[in-house]
A and B are shown apart, each in its own frame.
Chain A
Amino acid sequence: MADAPNRFVRVLRSGATIVLYAAMLLAVLAMWNPNAPQFIYVAF
């Protein structure tokens, strides 16, 4: 029973991480620009 709060925190943290990365992916798709500048170091 003592593990229950820890488990809850772990699940909450995992859920928050998934939401955060899903939001980041959505932002990437929304801002995707096919004419974006090349990665700087690829030219090196």
Chain B
Amino acid sequence: MLFLDLWFWQFAAIAVAVYLLCPQRLKVAWLLIASAVFQVHFAGPAGAAPVLVFALLTYAAPLLTPRQRGPSPAVAVITLLVGALTFYKYAAFLRDSAASLLQLVGVSLPHAVTAWHAPAIPLGISFFTFEFIHYLYEVHAHGRAPIRHPGQFAVFAIFFPTLAAGPIKRFPDFVPQLETPRNPDWAMWCDGVRRVILGLFRKVCIADTLADVATAMEATRVFTGPLVISLAVVQGLRIYHDFGGYSDIAIGLAKLLGLRVPENFNYPYRSTSLQEFWRRWHISLSSWIRDYVYIPLGGNRRHRTFNLLLAMVLCGLWHGAAWNFAAWGLYHGAGLAAEGLVRHWRPRLFEPGRATQLLGRAFCYSFVSLGWLLFFYPLDTVGQMLVGLARWSW
């Protein structure tokens, strides 16, 4: 239950209080102890092992002398992290997809493969692997200085407010704060308390109420046009307040410790274009995808449409091992590509102005809301919903 667990709030109260009372030289050590307790409590000792092993490898790789031949240690560990993420999150999905495909040509997988049970997914693997890859990439490709202090690296790796679901931190912004950790000033402390309360309110009072509304709507099983539209709007608001609430709590807790972590949302439903939406929605993930997938693929320089589609499909699949997430990513990739073409052919449509902004906002909100159906429901259910939508007569 993480942030909704009573244990967590008792733990957080002690963690923050002791941190504030700690002398400066002990603050990093205390953060590390508190984060380790959090990790072991929610993931268990076995569940904590993967993050420990990958953190050790990530810490050590840039400090090793690169060999004359063969891949550098940083590249080897990036490959290992991508492999581990694929194994833990996607092995069963890939196996089941391959089995379905092979069944079409009358071939079945061996029993040992179909009977294999995938191991439990380590807590926060999607988030900490992305932070580690970012760290290794920045040190290896951009020549940034590696983190030498093992305690500071360990806190970057398992910082408890952001461990389970981000925001995905960037080490050049986060680690310097650990060099001279300070208690928050009064304004920062108040802002931290405010964000924690706001986050809890958004989750408990808004998102969970909307979840109940969505469940009641789904129970009708007859997807009429108005129902489908309403579901799209309700789910869109639900996920915004659910994840926005989570992010508020994480950012607020970090502020109570005098630390700043990245913002994740900036009023995304005010966006006037899809490009703007992705600069305002889950910012720490979308900027990660831009910096470590889209730009290395070639970005806007060559094969822009292909790069966009691939980056967004990967972004979709990052959310879960299911085809509907891939379809959601493809939907947004296609939308962004089409918007890029319109921007090229009809730049006036994107010029500032009340009418263009209103039109852009309405289009963007409708497009994004409809997309949430792909995010929340299996593809066959979305198919039924679209049929209901197409049959809708005024």
Contact = CB atoms under 8 A, between A and B. Distances in A.
Contacts of B3: 39
Interface string A16-42: 010001001101100111101111111
A44 interface: yes
B77 to A, nearest CB: 22
B205 A27 contact: yes
A32 B200 CA distance: 10
A23 to B, nearest CB: 9
A17 B222 CA distance: 44
Interface residues of A, number: 19
A31 B1 contact: no
Interface string B1-20: 11110100000000000000
B165 A28 contact: no
B318 A44 contact: yes
B204 A42 contact: no
B138 interface: no
A40 B320 contact: no
Among A28, A31, A33, A41, residue most surrounded by chain B Cβ atoms (within 10 Å): A41
A28 B197 contact: yes
A24 B4 contact: no
B167 to A, nearest CB: 10
B246 A36 contact: no
B261 to A, nearest CB: 15
A28 B201 contact: yes
Contact of A43 (B4, B209, B320): B320
A3 B71 CA distance: 66
Contacts of B332: none
B221 interface: no
A28 B246 contact: no
Nearest to A41: B165
Nearest to B215: A37
B166 interface: yes
A6 B120 CA distance: 58
A40 B205 CA distance: 15
A27 B204 CA distance: 9
B95 interface: no
B198 interface: yes
A28 to B, nearest CB: 5
A38 to B, nearest CB: 6
Contacts of B198: 21, 24
Contacts of B359: none
A17 B194 CA distance: 9
A14 B246 CA distance: 25
B319 interface: yes
B336 interface: no
Interface of B: 1-4, 6, 126, 164-166, 193-194, 197-198, 200-201, 203-205, 208-209, 211, 239, 242-243, 245-246, 318-320
Given A24-B205, A43-B320, 18 more contacts: A24-B197, A24-B198, A24-B201, A27-B204, A28-B201, A31-B209, A34-B6, A36-B4, A36-B208, A37-B208, A39-B3, A39-B4, A39-B203, A40-B242, A41-B242, A42-B2, A44-B318, A44-B319
